[in-house]
Chain A
Amino acid sequence: MMSRQLYQGMQRIKSSEFWRIISSSLSIILSVSLVSSNMFSIAKIIILSILGILNSILGIAILILKISGWGTLCKVKKFYCWTRSALLIFPIISIIIAVIGVSSMFIFNTSYLTKDILWLRKSMSSILLITTILFVIGYIFEAVSLFDISNIYRNVLLKIGSLIYLGSLVISPFFIKVKDYGLIYSVIENVLQIFTSLAIYLGLSHIQKTIIYNQHYASQG
């Protein structure tokens, strides 16, 4: 029974990684469209906003797949239950803090009335930083869990993927800051994301094959 849960859990995590590749590719297109042109028409902003919203919906779908995947794997190991809980709780806390932060920014401070864009930008950056740190904690649990699976199954590809994943999460505040300085950093972040997801996807696929193989082997005994 355990092998079935393992296989199913990994399958959902694999699906989430597949959609993450799509989401990162969409993010690259969005960044390039936003930065490459100096002309911002209302129509362009609306189209880009719609794409942005679609990407956010995709992000939620990815998160649900991850929670579901780790929820299935939870029956196998206690740490994976923590991963599932972290993936569920921290994004919620992060969103609540973002809503409270932005609301209080407008309710308790009237600086926006003076059209101080710099002040708004600074406040938004601080809120973004705090919420990003909280948001990625769940993903840190996931990266460590993937690293654990890679160790158990001695899968090099998954190990590389999980370590790059962990590394990219740790340096995520850096990416928030440097995105201001150019398109290249945003593209690097997303390319890194695609590479990581691909490595995790292939690593998990290989492990799934091992699980099936071992099941056959066990039945022969």
Chain B
Amino acid sequence: MLVKGEFMNIPYQAKKNDRGLLILVTLAIIAIIVIAFLTFSYPNIFIGFEKINIESIGVIKIQGTLADSQGFTILGSTVGVQQYVNLVEQAIKDRSIKAVLLYVNSPGGTVSASEKLFYEIEKLAHKKTVVAYVEGYGASGAYMIMLPSRKIIASESSLVGSIGVYSVIMNYKGLLDKLGIKVYTFKSGRLKDVGSPYRNMSAEDKRIYSSIIQEFFSVFKNRVLKYRNITDQEVFTGRPYTSKEAKKVGLIDDIGTYDYAINVTKRLAGLPLDAPVRVLTPPKPSLLDLLFRLYFHPSTKVMPSYEILAMWPPPVIQP
């Protein structure tokens, strides 16, 4: 039996006791490795304890010009679509989220970014109720991503549609000639530098670009026809519509407020009207992210030539 002050009277060297303590240390190390494995293999089980078992609707806010990465195109600053893809994935995995409201205020973006998000939302729509709500712009690529939704609702003064594709290729030939700069291009085939900004566009270049645009447009059009009952073919001319007109031609289902859209989502998901609403937001940047961003200056990335699903001219979007 140990008594107070034992350390002082007897030098404590019991090997048996040390062995017990070592076993405790080993068990703790094993536990930490197991927890590390679980935490990093199944991150979603730790997202938030308060969210477990409370059926709610998730709101994903899609705002700004969509692009593959944060940067700058001729449309202005762009939002990296990956952060939205991550939020959609989070909504798919989170069992407490029964339905998702996509809050959209975007003029569209690049073909690849819009398509990436479209596929992800299509996947989400197969598993959960998805409703889209437009406040401001729900045009072009942004309209495409809303297509898999069960309902598209827009606020009264929104612009929807602008279904189409365009490509802007800047040509520097004239400027370079004025400056006396010559550019030599070595290529393996005659069309390897199709659309090069350093030479005048040939008829063949124009034909190829037109066919690319038509091909992208045909994919977009088929998606619209798959999901919407369009009553007027003018929709495919690329013109934007006000909410009232959009409803008439079948681009949207309803006109209403944000609260109305929330209630419609709850009703479609079979949730009570007092079910909680959770706005899914990307994680805030850590100090490390900020330092890396400052160091690498990704905001200076300019992409002048792009196949774009967006309204033209680009509307002014408040960040």
Q: Contact check: which of B2, B13, B35, B296 meets A152 at CB < 8 Å?
A: B2
Question: At the interface, yes or no: B313 with Cβ under 8 Å from chain A?
Answer: no
Instruction: Report Cα–Cα, A34/B17, bound state, in Å.
Output: 45
Nearest CB of B to A185, in Å: 9
Q: Chain B contacts of A218 at CB under 8 A?
A: 5, 8-9
Closest to A132 in B: B36
Q: Chain B contacts of A42 at CB under 8 A?
A: 294
Cβ–Cβ contact B7 & A170, under 8 A? no
Q: Contact check: which of A115, A148, A180 meets B296 at CB < 8 Å?
A: A115
Q: Contact check: which of A45, A82, A115, A172 meets B291 at CB < 8 Å?
A: A45
Cβ–Cβ contact B40 & A177, under 8 A? yes
Interface residues in A, total, Cβ within 8 A = 59
Instruction: Report Cα–Cα, A148/B46, bound state, in Å.
Output: 32
Q: Contact check: which of A82, A137, A210 meets B5 at CB < 8 Å?
A: A210
Q: What does the 1/0 interface line of B283-314 toward A look like (CB < 8 Å)?
A: 11011111111101010010000000000000
Question: At the interface, yes or no: A169 with Cβ under 8 Å from chain B?
Answer: yes
Nearest CB of A to B202, in Å: 32
Q: Contact check: which of B13, B286, B290, B301 meets A77 at CB < 8 Å?
A: B13
Cβ–Cβ contact B292 & A120, under 8 A? yes
Q: Which of A137-176 contact B (CB under 8 A)?
A: 137, 140-141, 143-145, 147-148, 151-154, 166, 169-174, 176
Question: At the interface, yes or no: A108 with Cβ under 8 Å from chain B?
Answer: no
Question: At the interface, yes or no: B32 with Cβ under 8 Å from chain A?
Answer: yes
Q: Contact check: which of A112, A136, A153 meets B4 at CB < 8 Å?
A: A153
Instruction: Report Cα–Cα, A59/B22, bound state, in Å.
Output: 26
Cβ–Cβ contact B24 & A76, under 8 A? no
Cβ–Cβ contact B287 & A210, under 8 A? no
Q: Contact check: which of B40, B287, B291 meets A129 at CB < 8 Å?
A: B40
Q: Contact check: which of B22, B33, B292, B301 meets A133 at CB < 8 Å?
A: B33
Cβ–Cβ contact A152 & B7, under 8 A? yes
Question: At the interface, yes or no: B18 with Cβ under 8 Å from chain A?
Answer: yes
Cβ–Cβ contact A121 & B32, under 8 A? no
Interface of B: prevailing SS: helix
Nearest CB of A to B139, in Å: 27
Question: At the interface, yes or no: B176 with Cβ under 8 Å from chain A?
Answer: no
Cβ–Cβ contact A210 & B4, under 8 A? yes
Q: What does the 1/0 interface line of A184-210 toward B look like (CB < 8 Å)?
A: 000000000000000000000000001
Q: Contact check: which of B8, B46, B293 meets A174 at CB < 8 Å?
A: B46
Instruction: Report Cα–Cα, A78/B14, bound state, in Å.
Output: 9
Given contacts A170-B35, A214-B4, contact A76 B11 (CB under 8 A): yes
Instruction: Report Cα–Cα, A151/B301, bound state, in Å.
Output: 62
Question: At the interface, yes or no: A64 with Cβ under 8 Å from chain B?
Answer: no
Question: At the interface, yes or no: B74 with Cβ under 8 Å from chain A?
Answer: no
Q: Chain A contacts of B22 at CB under 8 A?
A: 79, 82
Cβ–Cβ contact B46 & A45, under 8 A? no
Q: What does the 1/0 interface line of A72-84 toward B look like (CB < 8 Å)?
A: 0000111100100
Cβ–Cβ contact B298 & A115, under 8 A? yes
Q: Contact check: which of A48, A171, A214 meets B8 at CB < 8 Å?
A: A214
Q: Which one of B11, B13, B25, B294 has the highest number of Cβ atoms from chain A below 10 Å of its Cβ?
A: B25
Question: At the interface, yes or no: B52 with Cβ under 8 Å from chain A?
Answer: no
Question: At the interface, yes or no: A98 with Cβ under 8 Å from chain B?
Answer: no
Q: Chain B contacts of A125 at CB under 8 A?
A: 40
Question: At the interface, yes or no: A178 with Cβ under 8 Å from chain B?
Answer: yes
Instruction: Report Cα–Cα, A215/B47, bound state, in Å.
Output: 53
Given contacts A117-B298, A177-B40, contact A144 B293 (CB under 8 A): no
Chain A residues in the interface with B (C-beta under 8 A): 2-3, 6, 34-35, 38, 40, 42, 45, 48-49, 52, 76-79, 82, 112, 115, 117-118, 120-121, 124-125, 129, 133, 136-137, 140-141, 143-145, 147-148, 151-154, 166, 169-174, 176-178, 180-182, 210-211, 214-215, 217-218
Chain B residues in the interface with A (C-beta under 8 A): 2, 4-9, 11-13, 15, 17-18, 21-22, 24-25, 28-29, 31-33, 35-36, 39-40, 43, 46-48, 69, 82, 283-284, 286-294, 296, 298, 301
**Interface pairs (27), CB distance under 8 Å:** A2-B7, A6-B8, A34-B287, A45-B294, A76-B12, A77-B7, A82-B22, A117-B296, A141-B25, A148-B17, A148-B21, A151-B2, A152-B6, A152-B7, A170-B28, A170-B32, A173-B32, A173-B35, A173-B39, A174-B35, A177-B43, A178-B39, A178-B46, A180-B283, A180-B286, A211-B5, A214-B5
